Amino acid sequence: MNKKAILSIIVVILLALFLFIANSTDQKTTSEDLPTQTETEPETVTESVAPFIRLKNAEILAPESDHKVKLVDGKGSYELNSGPASSRGEVIVIDGFSTLWSTQSGKTDLTAILISNEGGSGTFYYLVLFDVQGDIFTKKSEVFLGDRINVTRMNLGELVHDINADYRITLESLERKDGEPFTAKPTVVSNRTFYVTNQILKELEIVRDDT
How does pLDDT run across 116-134, given as a tens digit for each residue?
Answer: 998 888 899 999 999 999 9
Provide φ and ψ at 132, rounded to 5°: -105, 125
Q: What whole-number distance in Å separates Cα of residue 198 and Cα of residue 164? A: 10
pTM comes to 0.74
Q: Between the CA of residue 98 and those of 1, 52, 84, 108, 145, what are the distances in Å?
A: 89, 7, 38, 13, 15
Other Cβ atoms less than 10 A from the Cβ of 104: the count is 6
Mean pLDDT (the chain) is 82
Helix-strand-coil split of the chain, %, nearest 5 = 20, 45, 40
* Coil, helix or strand at residue 2: coil
- Using DSSP, state whether 59 is helix, strand or coil: strand
* pLDDT tens digits, 76-87: 999 987 666 678
